[in-house]
């Protein structure tokens, strides 16, 4: 009955989801506290009280639950534009903002608005695997380009060689899932110079759900670096609202035919069936745009986990942001390594799930005591491989 394409994808099944299922099984046997679940990027932190209070306040307002413009409430979009204007050299208005159903919804809207069948989209490896499905949703072709070995920074020569007349877009994600890397301004400016030379314009789709989770480095503002840029943002991580499904797109006014791109994104929001982003969450996040970020909460977890993982003998770079640690497997087969880790009640995601075999990802957005308690398990796992 179902589509052959979906059937193929189902049979591959996500490695992250597989670990999630294994986690539920182990927790039912050993108890929550005795399983070290680093599989999912699902924040354990509660959303701030301001968000919850704001939702209660707005829920009883007249017209709070009616249809609205497909792009979202104008006053909410004005607030988002003003928020970005504080740090941008470009001047945004509500017309440049489209409220979305999380970053995932925003990515789908942007890709539907831009892609014709056969258009190529550059995806940097390691990558958030759903990018590949999103691109294929619109008959686009993902072109996988490796980042630099070990540092996972932009490899500009690789990107240059991957550009063709069919290249329509490149997806950037900084701070990055799964590596935690932040791309510095210098490399981004060099990329901008490369893209500026192209006969056919290439859009930068900047997926930024982690842009407030930076520890020591600044996250460069891409609106100040690229003209053809769409920023994709969400509050799933910064305000712990992944189930709320709320985010937005910023379409740079300097983008080629920016007004048409915005109109195409509005059309895509409607015809993908989103119709509009959730009304109450739009109101709530508009009230919370200036709340301090929760990065210190995650910094503590990063520091604790990094100390344990490196102390046990695993090799990894220090994450600059997001809440993921990407470490080298002591054996080539990262799926086998994940099974070995599960025997020590450690749940991790093999790098193959991000197009980067030989590595593993740990999501450190859970309970700090659970992270600290994982030390013995990591040391025993490392010992098994002679580290
Ligand atoms: C890199 C990246 N992009 C997009 C998303 C989707 O975010 P949202 O829940 O806001 O749709 C995630 C979620 O984990 C992510 O890691």
The whole-model pTM stands at: 0.97
Express each pLDDT in 249-274 by its tens digit. 999 999 999 999 999 999 999 999 99
Query: What's the rounded Cα separation, in Å, for the pair 160 and 227?
Result: 18
**Is the confidence at residue 19, as pLDDT, over 80?**
no
Ligand 1 contact via 247 beta carbon (within 6 Å): yes
Question: Top-level CATH class of 64-286?
Answer: alpha beta
Query: What's the rounded Cα separation, in Å, for the pair 348 and 353?
Result: 11
Pocket test for ligand 1, best of 213, 234, 285 (most atoms within 8 A of CB): 234
44-67 average pLDDT score: 95
What are the strands, taking DSSP E only, across the chain? Answer: 36-37, 97-100, 120-125, 141-146, 167-172, 203-207, 229-234, 247-251, 324-328, 346-347, 349-350, 359-363
Question: pLDDT exceeding 70 applies to what percent of the chain?
Answer: 98
Structural contact between residues 122 and 162, judged by C-beta atoms closer than 8 angstroms: yes
Distance 180 CA to ligand 1 centre (A): 14
Ligand 1 contact via 41 beta carbon (within 6 Å): yes
**Is the confidence at residue 111, as pLDDT, over 80?**
yes
Q: What are phi and psi of 249, to 5 degrees?
A: -110, 145
Q: What are phi and psi of 92, to 5 degrees?
A: -100, 150
Question: Top-level CATH class of 4-47+293-384?
Answer: alpha beta
**CB under 8 Å, gap of 24 or more: what pairs does 271-275 form?**
271/112, 272/105, 272/108, 272/109, 272/112, 274/100, 274/101, 274/105, 274/109, 275/67, 275/70
Residue 237: pLDDT band (50, 70, 90) is very high
CA distances from 41 to 188, 312, 319 (A): 26, 23, 15
Distance 235 CA to ligand 1 centre (A): 10
Please state the domain extents for the chain: 4-47+293-384, 64-286
Distance 380 CA to ligand 1 centre (A): 32
Express each pLDDT in 120-150 by its tens digit. 999 999 999 999 999 999 999 999 999 999 9
* Ligand 1 atom showing the smallest separation from residue 207 Cα: 3
Residue 8: pLDDT band (50, 70, 90) is confident
Nearest-CA residue for atom 16 of ligand 1: 177
């Amino acid at each position: 009955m179902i589509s052959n394409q979906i059937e193929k994808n189902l049979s591959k099944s996500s490695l992250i989801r597989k670990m999630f299922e294994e986690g539920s099984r182990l927790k039912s046997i050993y108890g929550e506290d005795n399983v070290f679940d680093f599989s999912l990027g699902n924040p354990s932190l509660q959303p701030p009280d301001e968000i919850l209070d704001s939702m209660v306040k707005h829920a009883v307002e007249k017209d709070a639950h009616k249809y609205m413009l497909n792009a979202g409430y104008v006053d909410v979009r004005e607030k988002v534009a003003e928020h970005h204007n504080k740090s941008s050299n470009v001047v945004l208005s509500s017309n440049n903002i489209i409220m979305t159903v999380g970053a995932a919804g925003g990515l789908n809207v942007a890709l539907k608005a831009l892609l014709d069948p056969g258009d190529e989209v550059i995806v940097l490896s390691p990558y958030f695997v759903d990018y590949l499905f999103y691109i294929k949703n619109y008959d686009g072709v993902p072109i996988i380009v490796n980042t630099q070995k070990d540092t996972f920074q932009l490899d500009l020569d690789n990107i240059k060689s991957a550009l063709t007349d069919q290249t329509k877009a490149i997806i950037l994600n900084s701070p990055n899932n799964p590596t935690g890397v932040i791309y510095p301004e210098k490399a981004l400016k060099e990329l901008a110079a490369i893209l500026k030379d192209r006969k056919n314009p290439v859009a930068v789709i900047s997926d930024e759900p982690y842009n407030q989770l930076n520890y020591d480095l600044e996250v460069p503002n891409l609106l100040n670096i690229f003209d053809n840029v769409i920023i994709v943002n969400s509050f799933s991580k910064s305000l712990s609202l992944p189930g709320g499904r709320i985010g937005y797109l910023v379409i740079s006014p300097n983008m080629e035919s920016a007004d048409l791109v915005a109109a195409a994104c509005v059309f895509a929001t409607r015809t993908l069936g989103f119709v509009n982003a959730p009304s109450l969450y739009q109101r709530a996040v508009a009230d919370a745009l200036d709340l301090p970020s929760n990065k210190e909460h995650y910094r503590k977890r990063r520091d604790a986990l990094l100390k344990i993982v490196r102390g046990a003998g695993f090799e990894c770079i220090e994450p600059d942001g997001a809440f993921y640690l990407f470490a080298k497997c002591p054996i080539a087969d990262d799926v086998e390594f994940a099974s070995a880790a599960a025997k020590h009640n450690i749940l991790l995601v093999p790098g193959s799930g991000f197009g980067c075999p030989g590595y593993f990802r740990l999501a450190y957005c859970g309970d700090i005591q659970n992270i600290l308690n994982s030390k013995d398990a990591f040391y025993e796992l490392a010992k098994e491989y002679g580290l």
